[in-house]
Structures are given as C-alpha cells and as structure tokens.
Amino acid sequence: MTPYSLLFDHGFARIDPEVAHHLGFRGLRAAAPVLKGIDRVVGAGQPVEALGLTFPNVLGMAAGFDKNAVGIDALGALGFGHVEIGTVTGEGQPGNPTPRLFRLTDDRAVVNRMGFNNDGAEVVAQRLARRAAAQVRAGRDDSDHESPPRTILGTNIGKTKVVPDDDQAAVEADYEKSARLLAPHADYLVVNVSSPNTPGLRNLQSVEKLQPLLEHVRRTADEAADLAGRSTRVPLLVKIAPDLADEDVLAVADMALAIGLDGIVATNTTTSREGLRSPSREVDAIGAGGLSGRPLASRSLEVLRMLKQRVGADLTLVGVGGITTVQDAQDRLDAGADLLQGYTAFIYEGPLWPRRVLRGLG
C-alpha cells in the first residue's frame, strides 16, 4: 500500500468527492512552481507524434478534471503530456444539483452527473489568452503552433443544457460559439456528444445529426484560426460513448473518414451498471450518472479495437476509459490507440500515477 493509498482511504475517501476534488486540485495548483522544477529534472515518457503535433508523451488528462482551464501547467508538471480541458459550453452554467459526484471504491470507479458545470466559452477563452500571454512574457511562445507548448492543450466542447437537442440550428449555433472562441487557443478540439448528464446530448451521436454538426464546427474552427493568424488548422475529434451499439460505432467511424475528421476519443462514461462489485443498494442509492473507472475498461477497449479495424492509420485514436495499470495502458496501445487519457485512476492512485504508468511503458 502506497502512502497516497493510506491518505486516500483515511482522508479523501471520507470527504465529499466534489469537495475533495476542489481541495486536491487547489493544492496541486499551489504546488505548481515546485512541480515544474521537478518536471524539468525528471521528465516523463517519450515524445509522440499525433494530430500533426509533438506530444511530450502518450498519456494525457481526460476532460472533466480541469473544466475551466485553471490547472493545465500543474497537471503537465505531474507528467501528463496533454491536458484536455472542459467540457466547455457556449454559455456558463452551474450544472446539476449536488450531490452529483460519487465513489464506488470497491470497483475503483466514480459516478458523476455533473451536467457540464463550467464558466462558459467566453470566460475560458479569456483565461487561455492570459495564459498564452504569460508564457510569452516568460519566453515561451505558445501561439506558435508549429512548436507546441510543453503540455499539449486539448479543448472539449459540449452543448449548453438549455439548448434543445431537436433544434439542429440552435445546437450548431451553440457549438459554433465555443469553437469560435476557443479554437484559436487550442492545440486540438474535441466535440463531446456523449456525456449522459445533459438531456438529449447523446441523441446527437446519430450520424444524421452528428455529421452536419461536425462539419459546422470544422468550418467555424478554421475561420477562427485564420482570423487569429494561425498558420495551421486545429485538429478536430469527436468523443463517443461506450454504450453505442457496434454498428453505430462503425457508422461514426465511416462518417469521420468521409468528412476528414482528425480523430476519435473512445470512450466517455457509461450508463451501464453491469458487473459491479459494489453492493447493489449502494449503486441504487447513487442513481443516474456516467460511470468511469475500472468497470469501463473492457468495453472501452472493445470499442477502440473496432475503430482501429475500421479506420486503420487514417485517424488518430485516443484511448480512454478504465485505464489504471501499465498493462491497461499497453493493451490500448496494442489495440491501436495513438494517445491515452486517464482521470479516475488519478483520483484513486494519486499524483505519482502518470509517471508510474509512463515508466512502465518504457
């Protein structure tokens, strides 16, 4: 048992999960200057070429941890080669009522129904602009996207809750606002249509709705990048749910190839509760929400394999969902993932987890 495991079991596990997240993240940001010094000395992983970018290593922090772009560099200093912020929506919103984040410790899993709580695209864009300006003053110009920053920045965008999913024009306008404001600051952009916690969002995964949405976001991102003076296009990916039927996974893959998408993030959280070790009364008491962590690993790996067989080397595939051990990470790479992401394992395994995984991968 590691020191962090003792701290988690006897400390964080007794605190409300959302409160513990904010406390832990605040401490991480406060320690950022020290962490950056360690990062320069120790380093982590080998560079990876993907999406036309050079990633410091293969492992990133998944969307959901840093919703508002307040700790990108601190997370990078822990060893994450990229950080995907968000999900950011066109308008700021408080998310669902609390409690909305729950642990299933017997399964090393988390259930959340956060509901895209975030500051909104305008505020986050301003924050990213200030970060870029500060890095220029420090002598590192992240506006030059041919020489990407030490920590690659992904930006995950989603639908504002009040926008009806059956109004395609309103949905496209909502995503357009986020893409227009955020694309100039992002190394890559992800369209999230797969969270189970925004009513109607997963309906947008049908190819009939998804294709025009992605094409609209692509045009908007290109226009925004041009206006910002970027010399390269912003890679665009879509994040899908593990709960899609196999034929729908393949349909999304075919559509992504057809419209020239850059990649797919597989997968988001699941609504399934099958095969859990936690007592059913505990699971039932938690109620609705997306499940992440170890129980998701098998299906997420299965979806990744299907995608790889369908798209070959034509798309960048990001494997996420239930990655905990070095073997989990290696399994995703062997199945065809170009990049990996974690979140729930970071909660249970602690701040040394990303470097342990990267050292194990060699």
Q: Tell me the per-residue pLDDT of 99-154, one tens digit each, with 9 for 90 and over.
A: 999 999 999 999 999 999 999 999 999 999 999 999 888 876 554 544 444 799 99
Given this model, what pLDDT does residue 254 score?
98
180 — pLDDT class (breaks 50, 70, 90): very high
Flag whether 63 is marked binding: yes
Given this model, what pLDDT does residue 146 score?
47
Q: What is the mean pLDDT of residues 345-356?
A: 94
Q: What is the mean pLDDT of residues 167-188?
A: 98
Q: How high does pLDDT run on average in the chain?
A: 93
Flag whether 127 is marked binding: no
DSSP 5-43: HHHHHHTGGGS-HHHHHHHHHHHHHHTHHHHHHHHHHH-
Given this model, what pLDDT does residue 4 score?
79
pLDDT one-digit tens code per residue, 329-346: 999 999 999 999 999 999
CATH of 3-361, one of 3.60.15.10, 3.10.310.70, 3.20.10.10, 3.20.20.70: 3.20.20.70
Angle at 29 between CA 183 and CA 96, to 5 degrees: 65
Given this model, what pLDDT does residue 41 score?
47
The SS3 of residue 309 is helix
Flag whether 54 is marked binding: no
CA distance 186 to 40: 23
Of 6-15, 87-96, 313-322, the poorest mean pLDDT is in 6-15
Flag whether 308 is marked binding: no
Would you list the domain boundaries of the chain? Answer: 3-361
Flag whether 40 is marked binding: no
Given this model, what pLDDT does residue 207 score?
94
Residue 118 amino acid letter: N
Residue with the larger pLDDT of the pair 12 and 352: 352
Q: Which residues contact 253 (CB under 8 A, 6 or more apart)?
A: 264, 306, 307, 310, 311, 315
Run of H or E residues at 355:
helix 353-361
User: Which tokens sit at 74?
Assistant: 């601190």
31 — pLDDT class (breaks 50, 70, 90): confident
Given this model, what pLDDT does residue 96 score?
98
Q: Is the pLDDT of residue 229 over 50?
A: yes
pTM higher than 0.75, yes or no? Answer: yes
Flag whether 222 is marked binding: no
pLDDT one-digit tens code per residue, 208-224: 999 999 999 999 999 99
Question: First vs last Cα of the chain: how many Å apart?
Answer: 23
Flag whether 343 is marked binding: yes
Q: Is the pLDDT of residue 298 over 60?
A: yes
Given this model, what pLDDT does residue 30 score?
87
Q: Is the pLDDT of residue 10 over 70?
A: no
Given this model, what pLDDT does residue 39 score?
55
Going across the sheet that includes 101-104, the strands are 101-104, 109-112, 290-293
Dihedrals phi, psi of 84, to nearest 5 degrees = -100, 110
Flag whether 66 is marked binding: yes
Q: Which residues contact 189 (CB under 8 A, 6 or more apart)?
A: 154, 155, 157, 179, 182, 183, 217, 221, 234, 235, 236, 237
Question: What stretches of 155-312 show up as alpha helix (H) in DSSP?
Answer: 168-182, 207-227, 246-259, 280-286, 297-311
Q: Which residues contact 339 (CB under 8 A, 6 or more apart)?
A: 48, 50, 55, 58, 59, 60, 82, 316, 317, 318, 319
HEC secondary structure over 90-124: CCCECCCCCCCEEEEHHHCEEEECCCCCECCHHHH
Residue 336 contacts residue 305 (beta carbons within 8 Å): yes
Q: Is the pLDDT of residue 309 over 90?
A: yes
Task: Tell me the C-alpha to C-alpha distance, in Å, between residue 244 and each of 206, 270, 271.
Answer: 10, 10, 11
Flag whether 96 is marked binding: no
Annotated catalytic residues are: 195
Flag whether 116 is marked binding: yes
